[in-house]
Structure 1
């Protein structure tokens, strides 16, 4: 079995994720309405967030080497982070301490360095190894569903990861908070490139909700037709 996955992003009118000031408060207000057990966060997105909100990465403490004690009634989502290149090495403790997740599951591949795997083991981070050069997302998600009882996932990621999961038929819904702005230059769009998306070279969607939000923003929710 696979978890149900919804992509949720705030974008400009021309589909950019960057180059403007998004309404973060409204974005997360909407995100909280989606029932989800975990958030799938791209490693580049996580790294960019750390650089945006922290002047420097604080040193690790002894407690950072221990797995958090999880309470049965804790509704805080898990974070799932694909990071086969290990770009979050020596940074994951900041995310774990943030309070936004109850713990982290890292997705890696056979190309992941031994030093990063040792780093994860020493600090008691759960990790799932699938795929050769890159993470095998379908296999990893099946494991996450079975092992962690994760039935619904919200994506908080950039265009690359969005495109990969869409291309592989793993996304069920797309939620877009459309901002009243057009960005002239951007290298990060909601969707970058669809690889072998379908025989027709496209992915069909079904609009299931449209709503004007705070007069200037529009919320669009689509179901992915598979």
Structure 2
């Protein structure tokens, strides 16, 4: 069974995810209000995001090779990071140390380099291996539901992964925080790699946040 999937993102008025300074406090406050079991993130977004966690990548320590002890009342979400090419090798401990994450579960494919798989095993990271060349996201989410009991997953990622999630009909809701700024040519469209058109949405909620931002929530209507 598939968990419920919500796309959550902060964008400019003209639909860009870059070229402006998002209010991360509001972004994560609204995201955490969903109480997700897990957040799904693409590897490129995760790699870019390391700059928000640390100015310089710290050296690994002995504790980074062990799973963290998780209390039953820990409200934080797991992070599902899709990384079929293994570009986060040497960086995974940054996410494991994050105050926003219980721990990391990595989504990989059959063609993921074996040295990267060994890197994950040596550090006791859980991983889901599915898909021939790229991660089969649908199957990975089904496994996450069966193996870990994830009922609600929120995507906190960029345009590529979010476009894949919509293309495959996996998204039930889209949550957008509109920042009152226009990025123009330097912007990067949220759904820039989406080839499917005519996707219909139903507005569920609209809210003004701190007299500056607008939070919109849409239901994705199934065909």
TM range (shorter): over 0.9
Q: Which residue of 1 aligns with 2:19?
A: 19
Does the 8 A contact of 2:206 with 2:217 survive in 1? yes
User: Among 212, 216, 220, which residue is 1:224 paired with?
Assistant: 220
- 1:187 is displaced (CA, Å) by 5.3
Secondary structure class of the residue paired with 2:93? helix
Contact 1:19 1:185 in 2 (8 A): no
Q: Distance in 2 between matches of 1:75 and 1:215?
A: 29
Counterpart for residue 204 of structure 1: 200
SS of 2:128's equivalent in the other structure is: strand
Deviation at 1:9, TM superposition (A): 0.7
Return closer, same or farther for 1:187/1:116 CA change in 2, 3 Å cut-off: farther
Alignment RMSD:
1.3
**TM-score, scaled to structure 2:** 0.95
Give the drift of 1:27: 1.4
Q: Which residue of 2 aligns with 1:57?
A: 57
Secondary structure (helix, strand or coil) at the match of 2:33 reads coil
Whole-angstrom CA distance in 2 between matches of 1:76 and 1:220: 23
Q: Secondary structure at the match of 2:8?
A: strand
Query: Does the 8 Å contact 1:8/1:31 carry over to 2?
Result: yes
Q: Secondary structure at the match of 2:207?
A: strand
In structure 1, the gaps of 5 or more residues are none
Q: Which runs of 5 or more residues in structure 2 are unaligned? A: none
For residue 46 of structure 1, give the secondary structure of its aligned residue in structure 2. Answer: helix
Indicate the SS of the match to 1:32.
helix
- Distance in 1 (alpha carbons) for counterparts of 2:18 and 2:83: 22
Q: For 2:137 and 2:186, how far apart are their aligned partners in 1?
A: 27
1:51 Cα deviation from its structure 2 partner: 2.9
| Contact in 1 for aligned 2:19/2:187 (Cα 8 Å) | no
Distance 1:162 1:101 in 2: 20
Distance of aligned partners of 1:73 and 1:52 in 2 relative to their CA distance in 1, 3 Å threshold: closer
Task: Give 1:49 shift.
Answer: 1.2
1:69-108 matched pairs, under 5 angstroms: 69-108=69-108
Query: TM-score scaled to structure 1, two decimals?
Result: 0.94
